[in-house]
Chain A
Amino acid sequence: MKPERILLNYKKNKVLYWMILPVITYVCIFNYLPMFGLTMAFQNYSLTGGIFGSKWIWFDNFKDFFQGLYFQRTLNNTLLISFYTLLFAFPAPIIFALMLNEVRHTGFKKIVQTVSYMPHFISMIVVVSLINDFTNSNGVIASIVATLGGTPRSYATDPASFRTVFVISEIWQQIGFNSIIYLAALSGISEELYEAAELDGAGRIAQLFHVTLPGIASTIIIMFILRCGALMTVNFEKILLMYSPATYETADVIQTYVYRIGIIKQKIGYSTAVGLFNSIISLGLIVLANNLSRKYTEVSMF
């Protein structure tokens, strides 16, 4: 757009331009400025030297990461945990919403709904503390295993159980709250469609597949794309609270590694490089998901 047109537009709508200035400034400072900080990824950054005083080592940081001890593990864990979350925790609210939708007794429905929202409002710290209670060798899980005849052990420090525990806790926390949007979408499907389907002789199951699901399909897809965007960040704060050196093998994801190396060990250049790698993959995934979706379903975010 030509600058003269903008100037004209500005003269006519001065206030609008001023109203949006704070947000633009904010985004410039807090979103775009740090992107310049990504140059640290290519340096052997030192705090006292700053950006201009630190040595440029170009791709050495990346090389160290890719050839290092922890590359495979962190990448694996990031992808696996995300994948399992997507596989199990994504459909759960949908199924829950579908189940709720079948209930006609409004009192019962309301109670179940209200109770199901509760876990979402409990803070992460409390949830992890509850998880620790459950999974240590004295906890509920262990006693259930014992009564079923197995040998109880500590699940909190068991790397093999980590992903399971993590995904289940995600489901527990979000199943109720995330179902809201699907319930909303379900209520948007017009009754006539169901009646028409019934007239055509479709049973309940057929109705599910031909009326219900297509009706909320666009919602599901948008939510899915959004989830893909969060794939690489994988709720790392929760992992940070849950993991320990015993479970690093399956719990250590890229973001938690960045935290340990960057914040605790202060290897700033290196950790920025790892973080950059993470962001690029994340961007790639979301673009991929979006484009695939646009191609096959005509629904997309952008």
Chain B
Amino acid sequence: MTARSQRILFWALVWFCILILSVPTIIVVGASFTTANMISFPPEGFTLKWYEKIALARDLQQAFIRSLIVSTVCLIVSVPVGTLAGLALSRFKLRFANAIQIYLLLPFTVPLIGSGIGMMLIFGEWRVLGSLWPVGVALAVINLPFIIWSVSSSAGALDGDLELAASSCGAGRFETFWFVTVPGVMPGIITGGLLMFVLAMSEFLVSLLLTDARTVTLPVQIYNNIRSIITPDLAAVSSVFVVIALLAVWLLDRLVGLEIFLKSK
């Protein structure tokens, strides 16, 4: 039993945190409806013209499509790699498992500017800079720990006897993996995959280093626009981002349930 004053303090703290966390989003979304020609909050009047403008802006549209391509490449690379690595790290007693965990964390723990420059040098050497797919691959490498964690924690919760049961049912190693292990860690794969997609959609720093004028992705395009003049259409683009993130969370909740996502590290 908590005292009344404790409850008031508790809820005050909760609401304070919720407010602080959502202030930037509220401001950006609010500002996107302003009728003024400069970004402002609270918005003056209400209009959807900035949404109309970004819907018609070719550069933003193309950047958005490029971002989708980059995110898809990132997904194609990271889901199989992250799933196998996550399973291996949690299911088998690997030698150097801890060392491998730390090694996989490196691209993420090294300051992003460092990893980004490293990637730029490698891709430049390979003469693939200027294509979109290296950006997706780079983002897959950098964010890989997220999907590995998510798959590992799913695999850790799996009953080890399931795979033995499959083999006593007559399933060979591959069949066991495909029909029992993969469906068993599917919540982790979906969670990790959506996370990878959203992170790749919104990644800025490494994308900035790996793209040029022909391959800018949406976050980089927004940055380029800010450098000239901050108009409310950027707030509208950001709002679209917010909606994409909300969609991802909604999808996650429908597919695996949010409580599983929140339990995975």
A, B assembled together: no
Q: Which A residues are within 8 Å of any B CB, using their own CB?
A: none
